[in-house]
Amino acid sequence: MRIKYLHEFLVAFLSLDNGAQRQIRKKLDELHRMPEGSLEHQALRGDQFKGLFKLRVGDWRLIHKIVDGELLFITLGHRSEVYRG
């Protein structure tokens, strides 16, 4: 599966502690090995989140969208904070 990352996502990822980074990296490695179309996307609700999806990794949420058949990871955050405007 083809995956891209926005700068905001990478900055947020690098600011996490090593344990959280390890968890997220493991999940992203799994995604890279998955066949196209096998990931079930969980759409976010609300007008401000239209077209966005979440991927749960422990207490962390990875926000992404699908652009030309690729996953584009936009940002990530703790589940208690990531949905705040």
Specify the CATH number for the domain of residue 24.
3.30.2310.20
| 44 domain-assigned | no
| pLDDT number for residue 85 | 63
Residues of the chain with pLDDT under 70: 85
Question: Left, alpha or beta for 26 (phi > 0: left; psi -120 to 50: alpha)?
Answer: alpha
Question: Left, alpha or beta for 37 (phi > 0: left; psi -120 to 50: alpha)?
Answer: left
Specify the pTM.
0.90
The number of folded domains in the chain is 1
- 28-42 per-position pLDDT tens digit: 999 989 887 788 889
| 42 domain-assigned | no
Ramachandran angles phi, psi of 69, nearest 5°: 80, 5
